[in-house]
Amino acid sequence: MDRLSFLILTCLLGICIGSTSYAAAVSTCPPCRLVKSHFYFGAAVGATDTNYGYSAFDNPVTGVRVENGIVDNSGFGFRGLLGYQLNKNFAGELGYTYFARAKGRGLNYTGGPTNQSGYIDEHAVDLTAKGILPIICRISLYAKLGIAYLFSHTKVNGIFSKNRDGFKPWLGAGVNFDVTKNFAFDASYNRIQSSGKIKTPEFLGLGFYWHL
């Protein structure tokens, strides 16, 4: 993820967390948590990084490798989810994440061709368990652990097109601020732990939840 994206998201996260902390401090809500319905949905937008190098564009058919090139992994993606909250400490979620397209340019293959361009598109569907820790009125921290089905499509113009997929561990953590019993803001960091040809994608985002 490039420095500008991290800086923007870090500032937004700081503003979000600072403002929600102040709101909670002056809130007149009772010590108990707001009563919520079990089912909810949510969405988030943010910065993503798929962590690829130019070797991700090696030709899987002929085995010819990329000697050098430039790859831009970072950009903005989005996430949507459906959830079921068992109680104030536990929930389960089913989510979908779109990661920003990784773009390769100036790709020079051993023995040719040279100056090629390509891209890698990645999507993921995940099923996670969510542990929630209320800290003060309206604010809670959480961590998520689960499994993700990660799909990757790589294409180099005029040379090859390759699909890769697999089930990978999903890790996440964040902070949640309850505005009302139905609506909440959310800031989170998520990653799919991977190795081999599919690298570890990351998502740092701001979003919301709506309890039905």
- Domain around 75: 3-27+38-211
For residue 21, tell me if it sits in a domain.
Answer: yes
In the numeric block, which tokens belong to residue 26? Answer: 């002056």
d(CA 69, CA 51) in angstroms, rounded, equals 15
Q: How many CA atoms lie within 13 A of 204 on its CB side?
A: 17
Closest to 106 measured CA to CA, from 63, 65, 68 = 68
Beta pairing, strands 116-136 & 90-109: antiparallel
For residue 194, tell me if it sits in a domain.
Answer: yes
Question: Contact 191/199 with Cβ under 8 angstroms?
Answer: no
Task: Say which residue the tokens 């790589």 belong to.
Answer: 154
What does the pLDDT profile of the chain (212 residues) look like in tens digits?
555 455 455 555 554 555 444 444 444 554 445 556 689 999 999 999 999 999 999 998 888 999 999 999 999 999 999 999 999 899 999 999 999 999 999 999 998 899 999 999 999 999 999 999 999 888 999 999 999 999 999 999 878 999 999 999 999 999 999 999 899 999 999 999 988 889 999 999 999 999 99
CATH of the domain at 191: 2.40.160.20
For residue 33, tell me if it sits in a domain.
Answer: no
For residue 196, tell me if it sits in a domain.
Answer: yes
Total tally of structural domains belonging to the chain: 1
For residue 88, tell me if it sits in a domain.
Answer: yes
d(CA 104, CA 44) in angstroms, rounded, equals 26
| pTM of the entire predicted model | 0.82
Closest to 188 measured CA to CA, from 7, 1, 17 = 17
